[in-house]
Amino acid sequence: MCTSSVGYFAQLAAVAEVCAPKAGNVHPQTAFDDTNWLDFVASSLAIRSVLDLATQTGVGNAVLASVQATQQAVGQNTNLGMILLMAPMCAVPLSSDLASGIDDVLASLTENDTASVYEAIRMAKPGGLGRTRQFDVAEPPACGLLEAMAVTSHADMVARQYVTGFKDVLKIIGPRIAEYNQKGKALDQVIVQVHLEQMARQPDSLIIRKCGESSAKEAQARAACVLATEWPNTEQGQFAFNDFDQWLRADGNRRNPGTSADLIAAGLFAAIRSGWIQTPFKWSSSQNPWA
Q: Give the pLDDT confidence score for residue 266 in this predicted structure.
A: 98
Q: Note the pLDDT tens digit of each residue in 91-122.
A: 999 999 999 999 999 999 999 999 999 999 99
Q: Give the pLDDT confidence score for residue 280 in this predicted structure.
A: 87
- Looking at residue 69, its amino acid is A
Q: How far is CA 204 from its chain centroid?
A: 11
Angle made by CA atoms 47, 271, 232, in degrees to the nearest 5: 105
Q: Give the pLDDT confidence score for residue 132 in this predicted structure.
A: 46
CATH classification for the domain delimited by 6-283, as one of 3.30.420.340, 1.10.4200.10, 1.10.3720.10, 1.10.3470.10: 1.10.4200.10
Q: Is the peptide bond before 289 cis (omega within 30 degrees of 0)?
A: no
Residues of the chain with pLDDT under 70: 1-3, 127-138, 140-141, 285-291
Q: Give the pLDDT confidence score for residue 131 in this predicted structure.
A: 45
Q: How far is CA 241 from its chain centroid?
A: 21
d(CA 66, CA 50): 6
Q: Give the pLDDT confidence score for residue 288 in this predicted structure.
A: 63
Q: Note the pLDDT tens digit of each residue in 131-170.
A: 444 446 667 568 999 999 999 999 899 999 999 999 999 9
Q: Give the pLDDT confidence score for residue 64 in this predicted structure.
A: 98
Q: Give the pLDDT confidence score for residue 104 in this predicted structure.
A: 97
